[in-house]
Every structure is written in C-alpha cells, then in structure tokens.
Structure 1
Amino acid sequence: MRIVFMGTPEFSTATLKALIDAGHDIVCVYTQPPRPAGRRGLELKPSPVHALADKHSIEVRTPISLKPEEEQSRFDALDADVAIVVAYGLLLPKPILDSPKHGCFNGHASLLPRWRGAAPIQRAIMAGDDVTGMMIMKMDVGLDTGPYALSEKVDITDDTTAGSLHDQLMDISGPLAVKAMELLETNEIELIEQKEEGITYAAKIDKAECRINFEKSAKDVHRHIMGLSPFPGAWFELGEGKKAVRVKVLRSKIVDSIDSSLVGQVIDDKLTIACADGAIQLIELQKAGGKKMDAQSFLRGVTIDAGTKLT
C-alpha cells in the first residue's frame, strides 16, 4: 500500500523499518525538524526516523505545523492509502486525518483507554501497573480516543525500567503494524471501540517531579525510580547549598521493612534507605556529568554514612 509514515524518535524507527521490509510503498515520511546537537549546539541533527528514511531514499518533510492549508494540500497530493503515526510529536488536524483512503492509524504504547497521552511507558511503571502493551488504533480528532485494531500485552515486573519497557514495546510495534496493514489491505480489519471506563492520562514528565521523596512507601519510591530510568532520571541531592551534588538513581530494589522512625535515612553501608513503609536499596547511580555505576563503585568515590538523610 501507499503509506505516509509519521514519527520522530528511535521508538518509531522499528515500525518504519518493518513496513519497509514488508514491501510497502512509503511515499513520504513526516518527522520533527532537525534539532541543535553537539557540545555547542551548532550542528543540526536529524531525528532517528529522518536518518532511516534518508538511508532508504524516502522523501522527508519536517513542517513545524500541519494546520496551514498549504501543508494539508501537500499531504493530500500524496494520494496515500493510509498514514501510520508513531510518536510523531504534532497534532493531526481533521483534514489530515481524513486525507488517506483508509485514514490514519497510530501505534500507541499502552493498553487504551489507560494512559492516553504523551508518556504512557513511564506512567504505567510509576503507577505500579502489572501489565501494559502496544496498540494499533485508528485515529480521530480526540487524544488517543479512536477504536483499536490490534493489541499485544507486556508484563511489568519489579525489574522493569522505562528503558527496558521502551525496547520491549518497540520490538512489538513493527510486526503489529505490519499485521494491521495486512488486515486493512484485505478488508479484514476489525475496529473495536475503547471502553468508557478506566480512562487515564499520561501527562508529559515534568522535571519538577523527578526528585525522589524517600518519605513515601518503598514500592512508590522504587516505581518512581524505575519509571524514570534512564531518562530523565529520578534524583536526590548530596550535601547542602552550593555544594549540593545531584545524583540520579537508575535502578533500585525493595528490601525488608525496617524501623519507620528512620524514614529518609541511609541505614547501612549498602545504600539502603528507610522509607515510610519498607526500605529501598539503590543499585545503580550517576552523578551529574559522570558515568553510571553500581552502588559499590559509587561508594568508592563518595562517603555516605549510615544516618545520612537523603533529600
């Protein structure tokens, strides 16, 4: 089929590659404009999707908006059978949604209607969900409100980070999109309306919420850490005032409960922190501007005595 692909980050590349490998005619790729990169930000770096499209000699367009009539007319002139959207980064106006013969389909990283919106991977872990998944849905003018065609579930465990879940869902996304296009091409696709109950929204991660609050339960602290790993990273500060050093925690584990009167304090020489209910052990850390390292290696360069309060 004649497909317009719309996506930007690494997550989107798996779907684009799968569609190319399946023999579809990718008539054009839409992605976010190149961004400043390099130490001084003087060079412009194309998005991962842009780079993949260039590799396959596919036309790339990088409009800053799809609202102008001129942009909509250019899109319509592509005469696409369908548009596939995966983490594109721009809202699609109704004329764009209605332009392809079969409409626009979105690869979304949650089990809708749970976690509609920008950060479904992180929010699922942070909320303590046991399962999430990947869905192929037909887009409408709402925020991830359209009917879905296919879905596949993925378990979330205590060892799941946002990074590992990202990779699991990315691996699923390509084959799922290819299967949806097969069903669409043979007119066998079945669209299922989303349930009215269980709707939640995955707001974009705000940097202000990344600071760790060790006064919450161990489960909540652990989910917070794992859900923000590796980016943007949950963090605490060592020291006070101008001497304070920000430290990201990239992995943790829940350990046996301890005296709740020690909440927020380091309780041993293994970076175990007392929480409101139980305790958390920090497994992998990264100082600002430094390399990530395990707790033992981290403690060779930093002294954190038992009784230290982490904030």
Structure 2
Amino acid sequence: MAGLRTIFMGTPDFACPTLLRLIERGEDVLAVVTQPDRPKGRGQKLVPPPVKALAQEHGIPVIQPLKVRAPEVVEQIRALRPDLIVVVAFGQILPQSLLDIPKHGCINIHASLLPRYRGAAPINWCLVNGETETGITTMQMDAGLDTGDMLVKRAIPIDPDEDAQALHDRLSCLGADTIDETLDRLAAGTLTREKQDDALSCYAPMLKKETGHIDWTKAAQEIKNLVRGLTPWPGAFTSLHGKTLKICRASVVSASGKPGRVIKADREGILVACGAESLLIQELQLEGRKRLPAFEFLAGYRIEPQTTLGAQRGMNDA
C-alpha cells in the first residue's frame, strides 16, 4: 500500500529519528519544512538545521520559511496536497489555515506525558521538578499551545542521575517508535482521541541563562535536579572567586553546614553545604576553562574549605 502523502515539520536533532522512521516506513514524504539556516560559531558561518541535512541526504525537498504563517507559505504547502503533516520540535506556531490543510490534520510529537509540561522545554522542567517518569505523547494539533487531543502515549522511567541530554536522546528515539504506533492505528482505523484535562496541565517555559542560577539555601536534591535539568544548556551555575562556575554533575550527601560554603574539596569532589544536606560537585566548568571531573580540576586549582560559592554572582558563560 502506498504511504501517506506526508509533510514533515521539524528542526533540531530531536526530530531526526522521527523523520528517518517516516522514510523507513515508506510514507510519501513530499517535503520537509524547517527553520532557516542560522549563523554559528566564531566565524558565524550559516549552518543548516539537522533536519534539513537529513532531508537532503534522502533527496527530499526542503522549505525554510522565516514565518510559516505567511500566506504564500501556506499556499505552497496547500499545493502539495498532503494527507498528513507530522510536527516535531519545529519552532514556530502553526496557524489554523495550515492545520486545516491535511485530511488527517497535523500530528505533533511532544516530549512529555500531556497534559503535563506543555511548552518549549518539557524535558528540562520535568528533571528540574524531580519527576520520576516522563514520555512521549502524540497529539492532534489545534491552535492552542500543546492543547490538542491526545492520540498515543508512551511512558518511560527517569534515572535519578539522568541529565537533560541523556533524556533528550532517549525520548528522541521513543518519539520515532510512538509515531509508528500512531500511524499504524491511523491506517487500521483504530486511532482514538482523548481530550486533555486542562486542570492537570503545567507549563514548561523556554529556558534562559538566569534559570540556572543556584540558590544554595535550597535543598541539595533540588539543586541536583536543577543541574540535571539544565545540562548541557544553559547550565546550573554559581560563582567561585568572582568567576562563573557551572556544575555539570553532582550527587547528594548527608552533611550540613552554612549554605554555599565548601565543606571539603578532595578526590571525591567539592562538597558544598545546602539548605538541607550537601551537594558533592563531581564535574564542573570554570569560566574560561574546559569541563572537567572535579578531581582533575582540583589538581590545578586549589579550593580551601570554608570558601563560599556564590558570594559574587557571575553571569558570564563558562
């Protein structure tokens, strides 16, 4: 049976496994819609989004609108006569005029168990908030922000030491598996829609650099969750001797002291007192230096016990 006439809309690495799965399934991918190339690095060279690079490898036409809601872009997509639009981390809000084009509508792959964590950064905020489970939801898109009817959910446990990058990679693959099940049910006529309960929803806003500022008066577990949720970007940070110090990996230890004060610094790491218990910093990056395990960092940088982290707040990138 011929595959569905499908348009894929997505931009970052997270979206690539789903696009590849559509290709492998034999869906008729008419075009890929993605964000424009962006300048990157010191030379500010234009770099294509990962989804564009994958599409070009497979000879799929690419559309890169500045604004997908522009009338000429909507008409360009309408002219392709898609049966379905699949959306994964595209990065722009779709207008109703676009949602109405395909006969099967627009299906979004969202990286949370909706209605929890609607918004731009569900992976990060579920870690920051200490959740023990998350997953993927496929959703029939409407004009709201992640408010459409739910189609298929797949849940996975979160490892207590897992950071945002590791969880991102697992959910990216799970997204591809979930679109498989969604499209199989669509083809079989067994795909059902479930309305979201807005009362159970919470918002996962876009991350900012200042989101990562550590308040040492909070419990060590809360700070560890902040570190996990913001690694690799924007990073949880404090300051050391007036320089920004990003904390990349840490664990909780039963010890006490004045919040922000270093209890000890040795081969095990840098132990810092918090509002409840203490945080053992195991991997870090000081402003202007490489990311290092704490014991390697301490081989070339002395930190005396009783040093207070965060005494001067630094906002520069490490």
TM-score range, shorter chain: over 0.9
C-alpha RMSD of the superposition: 1.1
Q: 2 CA distance for matches of 1:147 and 1:38?
A: 40
Q: 2 CA distance for matches of 1:22 and 1:84?
A: 14
Counting matched residue pairs gives 304
Per the alignment, residue 315 of structure 2 pairs with: none
Report how far residue 185 of structure 1 moved.
2.1
Per the alignment, residue 287 of structure 1 pairs with: 286
Instruction: Confirm or deny: 8 A CA contact 2:209 2:235 kept in the other structure.
Output: no
The counterpart of 1:251, out of the listed 241, 249, 270, is: 249
Instruction: Confirm or deny: 8 A CA contact 2:217 2:260 kept in the other structure.
Output: yes
Moved more, 262-271 or 1-10: 262-271
Per the alignment, residue 268 of structure 1 pairs with: 264
Per the alignment, residue 53 of structure 1 pairs with: 55
Report how far residue 37 of structure 1 moved.
2.0
1:40 aligns with 2:40: no
Per the alignment, residue 314 of structure 2 pairs with: none
Report how far residue 144 of structure 1 moved.
0.4
Counterpart mapping for 1:109-258 below 5 A = 109-239=111-241, 244-258=242-256
Q: 1 CA distance for matches of 2:278 and 2:43?
A: 42
The letter of the residue matching 2:286 is K
The counterpart of 2:70, out of the listed 68, 74, 92, is: 68
4+ residue segments displaced more than 4 Å: none
Using structure 1 for the length normalisation, give the TM-score: 0.95
Q: 1 CA distance for matches of 2:159 and 2:260?
A: 25
Per the alignment, residue 18 of structure 1 pairs with: 21
Per the alignment, residue 302 of structure 1 pairs with: 301
5+ unaligned residues in a row in structure 1: which ranges? none
Give the % identical residues. Answer: 38
5+ unaligned residues in a row in structure 2: which ranges? 311-318
Q: 2 CA distance for matches of 1:295 and 1:38?
A: 27
Moved more, 51-60 or 207-216: 207-216
Moved more, 291-300 or 101-110: 291-300
Using structure 2 for the length normalisation, give the TM-score: 0.93
Report how far residue 58 of structure 1 moved.
0.3
Per the alignment, residue 313 of structure 2 pairs with: none
Q: 1 CA distance for matches of 2:287 and 2:36?
A: 29
Instruction: Confirm or deny: 8 A CA contact 2:152 2:178 kept in the other structure.
Output: yes
